[in-house]
Amino acid sequence: MSAPATAAARRRPSPGARLDRALSRLGATGPFARDALFALLVAAVTLGSFAVMARLAPADPALRVSAGDVWTMGALATAQSLLLCLRRVRPRWCLTAIVALQLAIIATAPQIMAQGFGPAIAAYTLGGLAASRTVLRFAVAAVVLETAMSAAATWGEPGAAATVANQFASSAMLYAGASFIGAYVAAKRRNRIMERERGEAVLRAAREREESAILAERGRIARELHDVAAHHLSGMVVQAAAVERLIERDPAAAREGAAWIRAQGKETLASLRQVVGLLRERSGEGNAPVPGLSALDALVEESRRLGDDVRFEREGEPLVLPPIADISLYRIAQQALTNARQHAPGAVVRLRLAYEPHHVDLEAANGRPRREPAAVGHGGTGLVGMRERADLVGAEFTAGPTVDGGWAVRLRLPVREADRERRAGGGDGSASGTGGR
């Protein structure tokens, strides 16, 4: 089936939904109103069935029943059907009244064991609504009463024992079978509801975990932005003032340096205002230096000490990136190595950092795991954090399985003209420094 056909079939309402809408248009919205319509339908079918019997049964001498008896039983069976309007609002009273009418049917012509649709439907409904013990009591009482009525009505007649035995077997199968089916269907329905609610609860929990991970990641980013400001802004402002005082000795160089420093300060403050305004305050994590791409070699060495087989490649001439971009790329690489360690233990991990003319590429790819991954609890929040960081700095981010059964994370960060003009190692004050506040 094609995708459009599948989508159309998914949108098409089920027969139950169409029936529900049709009944609602008729004004039958509650259980009593809908069961009343159902009872009228069953009564019509019952009356028709006994009308056919009234024409055929008297012609069979073996049945020993008159047309009048058939019409009497038909009227009683029709009354049973009409009582089905109470089957869900008063299931016990409904079955009790229907069994009482069934006793009258048995008394009219016990030898033919006539039966309408009411007893089976009422027993089915009670089986689905009442407790097992209640259903068992009603079923046993119905079987005993109908068997006793058959015995009383055929007392002293030829073949009475066989008639009573047949009545017992018929009643037992009807009430036990209908009650069991009703209980089974109701249990299946309850299980479906529980599974749906459990699935919805799992989805809610997953969404809450994802939202918590996003909030936590944003909190960490906010703290790192604060560290960027603490490490660099005060020094940049002081240096700008010093450069401006040198204008007399080297005006052109001093003004150029001062303008560059002021631009860096404005850029960092703009990043700080952009992100921190969206984040909740979190408790601090001390005065640890903020890592950046210059710390990737140390990160790779640390991963190797933990037993990871990491192959690191750096291509191109390093650029001076904005502090938040420098931090974000480092954190994404760190999370990618952590994910590979958790989900693909023993696999070779290839980490690549490439400085291109117009963008910076970061890629971390691992092969198949060489041993069974350890259980690490709920997953997915690491990818959420990486995507959040990539979105923050305007980078393209993709993550997914590879053709060889591994996993790859790829990020591409566009490089601005101002960043291309600045190269690492030129006293830039990168966020990868290790100075304190």
Eight-state DSSP code of residue 61: G
3-state secondary structure of 354: strand
* pLDDT at residue number 333: 92
Instruction: Tell me: pLDDT of 350 over 90.
Output: yes
| pLDDT tens-digit series, residues 387-436 | 888 988 889 999 999 998 899 999 999 987 656 655 544 444 433 333 33
User: Helices 91-108 and 67-82 sit at what angle, rounded to 10 degrees?
Assistant: 180
| pLDDT tens-digit series, residues 11-37 | 566 665 666 676 666 666 678 888 888
Non-local CB neighbours of 140 within 8 Å, separated by 6+ positions: none
Give the highest mean pLDDT range of 211-215, 314-318, 333-337, 408-412. Answer: 408-412
Q: Rounded mean pLDDT of the chain?
A: 79
**Tokens read off for 177:** 């079978």
State how far the Cα of 341 lies from the Cα of 335, in Å rounded to an integer. Answer: 10
Asked if residues 260 and 320 have their Cβ atoms less than 8 Å apart, the reply is: no
Of the candidates 299, 317, 329, the one whose C-alpha atom is nearest the C-alpha of residue 419 is 317
* pLDDT at residue number 433: 37
| pLDDT tens-digit series, residues 371-382 | 776 554 545 567
**Tokens read off for 51:** 């009308």
* pLDDT at residue number 192: 92
How many CB atoms are located within 10 Å of the residue 225 CB?
Answer: 25
More confident of the two residues 247 and 386 = 386
More confident of the two residues 41 and 225 = 41
Instruction: Tell me: pLDDT of 79 over 90.
Output: yes
Asked if residues 120 and 174 have their Cβ atoms less than 8 Å apart, the reply is: yes
Q: Supply angle C-alpha 161, 164, 167, rounded to 5.
A: 150
How many CB atoms are located within 10 Å of the residue 45 CB?
Answer: 13
State how far the Cα of 140 lies from the Cα of 153, in Å rounded to an integer. Answer: 20
Where does the pLDDT of residue 306 fall: very low under 50, low under 70, confident under 90, or very high at 90 and above?
confident
Backbone angles phi, psi at 403, to 5 degrees: -65, -25
* pLDDT at residue number 283: 41
